């Protein structure tokens, strides 16, 4: 597996990481523990070194699962987890809490669940409007100096938030949704990360599964987070399937799957970019990892972008509630 560097603080990881959320949350049905551990082990065998989790996934259970699965290879991998979504208080604005004392509490609890001595990459999961970025960065900086955290990251953060936090403590990574059908970061966040020397970690790089071409109807059940997203209504899916069909056609011409082309496209957007596709299946894991070895010409990149122009995608990526947690 090829390696890439996130930020300028020495965080080197595999070109493709593994998002572990779906093993415990958001996309049912969930696999049993043994299957999830098998997938994590195989990822490590294939050279994946960045494993992404969060205390809110489960909640709490995904960190414990990832920690258990990585025990035998801890010294060879990087574990990323997150703080900032309020899971402890009966009251709290928009479910967010990034007060310095809470950041410290979450770090201590995550270390125990993961069964590690240090968190490699500690992200603010969502920006808390009541806590200045400087305070957040300062709190994580204290944890870095104490040896409990190695590197600092932000998720779904606006450019001004990124700049302010980075001045207080250097950011190694910014994580935001980014894929062929979610191009928002190209307008300001991606250029800013390149300017400041910050790594960029796209989550949902396969459009929450849609860009694989396997989703043909709206997800069922309240536990599936996609069931509330405008992009996954029956009407939107009807429109978006046409775009994916074109992605399939281009993949067939190159002897690759739509998912592999979608990941290869992201990887060609910059050497500071490391996507973290999630999966619970061995064959999908191997398919995703193989994307790191795909070379695309400028013409092929242009064809992919023409096949799925941003303006043609039907439906917003989030519902109103989830957009309220995004720092725009």
Please list the active-site residues: 57
* DSSP collapsed to 3 states, the chain: CCEEEECCCCEEEECCCEECHHHCCCCCCCCCHHHHHHHHHHHHHCCCCEEECCCCCCCCHHHHHHHHHCHHHHHHCEEEEEECECCCCCCCHHHECCCHHHHHHHHHHHHHHHCCCCEEEEEECCCCCCCCHHHHHHHHHHHHHCCCEEEEEEECCCHHHHHHHHHHCCCCEEEEECECCECHHHCCHHHHHHHHCCEEEEECCCCCCHHHCCCCCCCCCCCCHHHHCHHHCHHHHHHHHHHHHHHHHHHHHHCCCHHHHHHHHHHCCCCCECCCCECCCHHHHHHHHHHHHCCCCHHHHHHHHHHCCHHHCCCCCCCHHHHCCCCC
In our burial notation (b when 16+ CB lie closer than 10 A, e otherwise), range 104-135 reads: bebbebbbebbebebbbbbbbbbbbeebebeb
Cα(275)–Cα(264) distance, integer angstroms? 10
Distance, CA of 258 to CA of 263 (rounded, Å): 9
Tell how strand 3-6 and strand 11-14 pair up. Answer: antiparallel
């Amino acid at each position: 597996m090829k390696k890439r560097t996130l930020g300028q603080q020495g965080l080197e990881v595999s070109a493709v990481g593994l998002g572990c959320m779906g093993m415990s949350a958001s996309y049912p049905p969930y696999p049993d523990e043994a299957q999830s551990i098998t997938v994590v082990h195989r990822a490590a065998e294939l050279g994946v070194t960045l494993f992404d989790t969060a205390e809110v996934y489960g909640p709490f259970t995904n960190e414990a699962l990832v920690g258990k699965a990585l025990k035998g290879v801890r010294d060879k991998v990087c574990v990323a987890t997150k703080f900032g979504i309020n899971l402890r208080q009966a009251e709290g604005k928009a479910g967010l809490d990034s007060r310095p004392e809470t950041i410290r509490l979450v770090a201590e609890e995550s270390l125990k669940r993961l069964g590690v001595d240090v968190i490699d990459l500690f992200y603010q999961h969502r920006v808390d409007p009541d806590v200045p970025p400087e305070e957040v960065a300062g709190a994580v900086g204290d944890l870095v100096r104490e040896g409990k955290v190695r590197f600092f990251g932000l998720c779904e953060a606006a450019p001004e938030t990124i700049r302010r936090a980075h001045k207080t403590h250097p950011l190694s990574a910014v994580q935001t949704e980014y894929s062929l059908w979610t191009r928002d970061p190209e307008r300001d966040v991606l250029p800013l990360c390149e300017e400041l020397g910050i790594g960029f970690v796209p989550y949902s790089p396969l459009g929450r599964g849609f860009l694989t071409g396997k989703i043909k109807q709206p997800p069922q059940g309240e536990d599936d987070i996609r069931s509330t997203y405008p992009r996954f209504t029956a009407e939107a899916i009807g429109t978006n399937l046409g775009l994916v069909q074109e992605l399939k056609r281009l993949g067939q011409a190159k002897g690759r799957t739509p998912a592999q082309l979608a990941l290869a496209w992201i990887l060609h957007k910059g050497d500071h970019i490391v996507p973290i596709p999630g999966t619970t299946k061995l064959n999908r894991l191997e398919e995703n990892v193989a994307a790191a070895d795909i070379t695309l010409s400028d013409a092929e990149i242009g064809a992919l972008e023409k096949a799925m122009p941003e303006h043609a995608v039907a439906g917003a990526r989030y519902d109103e509630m989830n957009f309220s947690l995004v720092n725009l």
